Amino acid sequence: MGDLLLVRHGETEWSVSGQHTSFTDLPLTQHGEEQAKSLAPLLSQRTCALALTSPLGRALRTAELAGVPSPVIEPDLHEWDYGGYEGITTDEIHRTRPDWDLWRDGVPPGPDGHPGESPAEVGDRADRVLARVDTALAHRTGDVILVAHAHFLRVLTARRLGLPPTEGRLFQLSTGTVSRLSTEHGRPVVAEWNTRP
Protein backbone atom coordinates (compact mmCIF):
# COMPACT_ATOMS: atom_id res chain seq x y z
CA MET A 1 0.00 0.00 0.00
CA GLY A 2 1.32 3.43 -0.93
CA ASP A 3 1.55 6.61 1.10
CA LEU A 4 -0.40 9.85 1.04
CA LEU A 5 1.78 12.81 0.03
CA LEU A 6 0.56 16.29 0.92
CA VAL A 7 1.97 19.20 -1.06
CA ARG A 8 1.27 22.71 0.16
CA HIS A 9 1.42 25.23 -2.67
CA GLY A 10 4.29 27.69 -2.92
CA GLU A 11 4.40 31.14 -1.40
CA THR A 12 1.95 33.89 -2.40
CA GLU A 13 1.90 37.55 -1.36
CA TRP A 14 -0.80 36.81 1.20
CA SER A 15 0.96 33.79 2.68
CA VAL A 16 3.85 36.16 3.38
CA SER A 17 1.61 38.86 4.90
CA GLY A 18 -0.52 36.36 6.85
CA GLN A 19 -3.79 37.33 5.17
CA HIS A 20 -6.42 34.58 5.08
CA THR A 21 -6.57 33.34 1.49
CA SER A 22 -9.25 30.97 0.32
CA PHE A 23 -11.22 31.99 -2.77
CA THR A 24 -8.93 34.90 -3.77
CA ASP A 25 -6.89 33.25 -6.51
CA LEU A 26 -3.47 34.81 -6.04
CA PRO A 27 -0.51 33.68 -8.14
CA LEU A 28 2.69 32.30 -6.68
CA THR A 29 5.45 34.81 -5.98
CA GLN A 30 8.79 34.26 -7.72
CA HIS A 31 9.99 32.61 -4.51
CA GLY A 32 6.84 30.47 -4.50
CA GLU A 33 7.62 29.28 -8.03
CA GLU A 34 11.15 28.39 -6.94
CA GLN A 35 9.75 26.51 -3.95
CA ALA A 36 7.46 24.52 -6.22
CA LYS A 37 10.26 23.64 -8.65
CA SER A 38 12.44 22.50 -5.77
CA LEU A 39 9.88 19.82 -4.83
CA ALA A 40 10.29 17.96 -8.13
CA PRO A 41 13.18 15.75 -6.94
CA LEU A 42 11.22 14.69 -3.84
CA LEU A 43 8.17 13.69 -5.89
CA SER A 44 10.04 12.12 -8.81
CA GLN A 45 11.41 9.45 -6.45
CA ARG A 46 7.88 8.15 -5.82
CA THR A 47 5.47 6.10 -7.92
CA CYS A 48 2.20 7.98 -8.29
CA ALA A 49 -1.09 6.07 -8.34
CA LEU A 50 -3.25 9.21 -8.32
CA ALA A 51 -2.60 12.95 -8.11
CA LEU A 52 -5.34 15.39 -7.12
CA THR A 53 -5.11 19.17 -6.96
CA SER A 54 -7.19 22.06 -5.72
CA PRO A 55 -8.84 24.01 -8.54
CA LEU A 56 -7.10 27.24 -7.45
CA GLY A 57 -4.29 28.60 -9.58
CA ARG A 58 -1.65 28.59 -6.85
CA ALA A 59 -2.10 24.85 -6.38
CA LEU A 60 -2.32 24.08 -10.09
CA ARG A 61 0.88 26.03 -10.76
CA THR A 62 2.66 24.29 -7.89
CA ALA A 63 1.63 20.90 -9.27
CA GLU A 64 2.91 21.88 -12.71
CA LEU A 65 6.27 23.21 -11.50
CA ALA A 66 6.80 20.29 -9.11
CA GLY A 67 6.26 17.80 -11.93
CA VAL A 68 3.20 16.16 -10.39
CA PRO A 69 2.12 13.57 -12.98
CA SER A 70 -1.33 14.05 -14.57
CA PRO A 71 -3.04 15.88 -11.70
CA VAL A 72 -6.83 15.75 -11.58
CA ILE A 73 -8.76 18.74 -10.22
CA GLU A 74 -10.67 17.86 -7.06
CA PRO A 75 -13.02 20.70 -5.96
CA ASP A 76 -13.09 19.40 -2.37
CA LEU A 77 -9.38 20.28 -2.05
CA HIS A 78 -10.02 24.05 -2.09
CA GLU A 79 -8.94 26.00 0.96
CA TRP A 80 -11.15 26.58 4.01
CA ASP A 81 -13.72 29.21 2.97
CA TYR A 82 -12.78 32.13 5.23
CA GLY A 83 -15.99 34.02 4.40
CA GLY A 84 -15.90 37.51 5.89
CA TYR A 85 -12.30 37.08 7.01
CA GLU A 86 -10.92 36.68 3.48
CA GLY A 87 -7.87 38.90 3.06
CA ILE A 88 -7.70 39.76 6.77
CA THR A 89 -4.91 38.74 9.15
CA THR A 90 -5.43 37.09 12.52
CA ASP A 91 -3.94 40.16 14.22
CA GLU A 92 -6.55 42.38 12.54
CA ILE A 93 -9.36 40.04 13.61
CA HIS A 94 -8.09 40.05 17.20
CA ARG A 95 -8.52 43.84 17.38
CA THR A 96 -12.29 43.36 17.49
CA ARG A 97 -12.46 39.70 18.61
CA PRO A 98 -9.47 39.17 20.92
CA ASP A 99 -10.46 35.59 21.79
CA TRP A 100 -11.23 34.48 18.21
CA ASP A 101 -9.76 31.15 17.15
CA LEU A 102 -10.32 29.75 13.66
CA TRP A 103 -10.24 26.17 14.91
CA ARG A 104 -12.92 26.78 17.51
CA ASP A 105 -15.02 29.61 16.09
CA GLY A 106 -14.93 29.28 12.30
CA VAL A 107 -15.64 32.47 10.34
CA PRO A 108 -18.52 34.87 9.63
CA PRO A 109 -20.28 34.88 6.24
CA GLY A 110 -18.58 36.69 3.38
CA PRO A 111 -19.72 37.83 -0.06
CA ASP A 112 -22.31 35.93 -2.10
CA GLY A 113 -21.20 32.36 -2.69
CA HIS A 114 -18.77 32.42 0.24
CA PRO A 115 -20.71 31.76 3.43
CA GLY A 116 -17.60 30.68 5.32
CA GLU A 117 -17.03 27.24 6.80
CA SER A 118 -16.89 25.72 10.24
CA PRO A 119 -14.16 23.23 11.16
CA ALA A 120 -16.76 20.43 10.86
CA GLU A 121 -17.68 21.47 7.31
CA VAL A 122 -14.03 21.46 6.26
CA GLY A 123 -13.73 18.06 7.95
CA ASP A 124 -16.61 16.73 5.86
CA ARG A 125 -14.79 17.73 2.67
CA ALA A 126 -11.58 16.17 3.96
CA ASP A 127 -13.43 12.92 4.66
CA ARG A 128 -14.71 12.83 1.08
CA VAL A 129 -11.19 13.33 -0.25
CA LEU A 130 -9.86 10.61 2.05
CA ALA A 131 -12.51 8.17 0.78
CA ARG A 132 -11.22 8.80 -2.75
CA VAL A 133 -7.63 8.40 -1.53
CA ASP A 134 -8.42 5.08 0.15
CA THR A 135 -10.01 3.71 -3.02
CA ALA A 136 -6.93 4.62 -5.05
CA LEU A 137 -4.51 3.19 -2.48
CA ALA A 138 -6.48 -0.05 -2.29
CA HIS A 139 -6.73 -0.62 -6.04
CA ARG A 140 -3.58 0.95 -7.54
CA THR A 141 0.16 0.66 -7.04
CA GLY A 142 1.91 3.74 -5.70
CA ASP A 143 1.24 6.85 -3.68
CA VAL A 144 -1.51 9.44 -3.80
CA ILE A 145 -0.40 13.07 -4.09
CA LEU A 146 -2.64 15.93 -2.95
CA VAL A 147 -1.69 19.50 -3.89
CA ALA A 148 -3.65 21.98 -1.82
CA HIS A 149 -3.65 24.54 0.98
CA ALA A 150 -2.41 24.80 4.55
CA HIS A 151 -5.57 24.82 6.65
CA PHE A 152 -7.37 22.27 4.50
CA LEU A 153 -4.41 19.87 4.55
CA ARG A 154 -4.08 20.31 8.31
CA VAL A 155 -7.74 19.30 8.77
CA LEU A 156 -7.26 16.39 6.38
CA THR A 157 -4.25 15.23 8.40
CA ALA A 158 -6.26 15.30 11.60
CA ARG A 159 -9.05 13.30 10.00
CA ARG A 160 -6.55 10.77 8.55
CA LEU A 161 -5.22 10.21 12.06
CA GLY A 162 -8.73 9.73 13.48
CA LEU A 163 -8.81 13.13 15.19
CA PRO A 164 -11.57 15.76 15.07
CA PRO A 165 -11.14 18.48 12.42
CA THR A 166 -10.25 21.04 15.11
CA GLU A 167 -7.05 19.12 15.88
CA GLY A 168 -5.64 20.32 12.57
CA ARG A 169 -4.40 23.17 14.77
CA LEU A 170 -1.57 20.84 15.84
CA PHE A 171 0.01 20.53 12.38
CA GLN A 172 1.73 23.74 11.26
CA LEU A 173 2.35 23.55 7.51
CA SER A 174 4.79 25.72 5.55
CA THR A 175 4.53 26.81 1.92
CA GLY A 176 6.33 24.74 -0.70
CA THR A 177 6.63 21.56 1.35
CA VAL A 178 5.86 17.86 1.06
CA SER A 179 4.50 15.86 3.99
CA ARG A 180 3.95 12.11 4.05
CA LEU A 181 1.22 10.19 5.85
CA SER A 182 1.86 6.46 6.02
CA THR A 183 0.88 3.48 8.16
CA GLU A 184 2.59 1.56 10.93
CA HIS A 185 1.13 -1.73 12.12
CA GLY A 186 -2.03 -0.92 10.19
CA ARG A 187 -2.53 2.50 11.81
CA PRO A 188 -2.10 5.90 10.11
CA VAL A 189 0.98 7.87 11.13
CA VAL A 190 2.86 11.03 10.19
CA ALA A 191 6.01 9.74 8.50
CA GLU A 192 7.45 13.08 7.33
CA TRP A 193 6.33 16.67 7.82
CA ASN A 194 7.20 20.00 6.17
CA THR A 195 9.93 18.42 4.03
CA ARG A 196 11.96 20.55 1.64
CA PRO A 197 14.94 19.47 -0.45
* CA gap 7, 153 in Å, rounded: 9
Q: Which of 11, 33, 74, 79 is catalytic?
A: 79
Decide the pairing of beta strands 177-184 and 4-8. antiparallel
Q: Is residue 197 predicted with pLDDT exceeding 90?
A: no
- Residue 122, phi then psi, degrees to nearest 5: -65, -40
184 is catalytic: no
Rounded distance between C-alpha atoms, residue 183 and residue 113, angstroms: 38
Q: What is the pLDDT of residues 91-123, one digit of tens each?
A: 999 999 999 999 999 999 999 999 999 999 999
Inter-axis angle of helices 57-65 and 30-38, nearest 10: 50
Beta bridge partners of 4: 144, 181
State which H helix or E strand residue 50 sits in: strand 48-53
pLDDT value at residue 5: 98
Say if residue 1's pLDDT is above 90: no
- Active site annotation includes 74: no
pLDDT tens by residue, 35-55: 999 999 999 999 999 999 999
Cross-sheet strand order for the sheet of 48-53: 72-73, 48-53, 143-148, 4-8, 177-184, 187-195
Between β-strands 72-73 and 48-53, what pairing exists: parallel, antiparallel or unpaired? parallel
Instruction: Give the count of beta carbons closer than 10 Å to the beta carbon of residue 43.
Output: 20
Q: Is the pLDDT of residue 17 over 90?
A: yes
pLDDT tens track for 148-183: 999 999 999 999 999 999 999 999 999 999 999 999
Q: What is the mean pLDDT of residues 60-79?
A: 98
Annotate 137-160 with b (16+ C-beta within 10 A) or e (fewer): beeeebbbbbbbbbbbbbbbbbbb
Q: Contact at 8 Å (CB) between 102 and 77? A: no
Measured between alpha carbons, how far is 150 from 18 in angstroms, rounded to an integer? 12
